Amino acid sequence: MIHVNSLVDIVVFGIVGAIMMAALVGLLLVVSGRPGGISPGLQKAFAAAALALLVAVPTLGAIDALASGAGFWTAFAVAACVAAVVAGVNIALSPLVAKRQGGTAGVLTPSLPVFAVGLVLCLALGLVATALAALFV
What would the pLDDT profile of 42-60 be if each residue is shown by its tens digit?
Answer: 889 999 999 999 999 999 9
pLDDT band at 112 (very low <50, low <70, confident <90, very high): confident
With contact defined as beta carbons under 8 Å apart, do 78 and 62 qualify?
Answer: yes
Helix (H), strand (E), coil (C) string for the chain: CHHHHHHHHHHHHHHHHHHHHHHHHHHHHHHHCCCCCCCHHHHHHHHHHHHHHHHHHHHHHHHHHHHCCCCHHHHHHHHHHHHHHHHHHHHHHHHHHHHHCCCCCCCCCCCHHHHHHHHHHHHHHHHHHHHHHHHHC
With contact defined as beta carbons under 8 Å apart, do 100 and 33 qualify?
Answer: yes
Per-residue pLDDT reduced to its tens digit, 61-111: 999 999 998 899 999 999 999 999 999 898 888 877 777 776 666 666 677
The domain total for the chain is 1
pLDDT band at 4 (very low <50, low <70, confident <90, very high): confident
Q: Average pLDDT for residues 131-135, to the nearest whole number?
A: 96
pLDDT band at 3 (very low <50, low <70, confident <90, very high): low
What was the pLDDT predicted at 111?
79
Domain range spanning residue 108?
Answer: 2-136
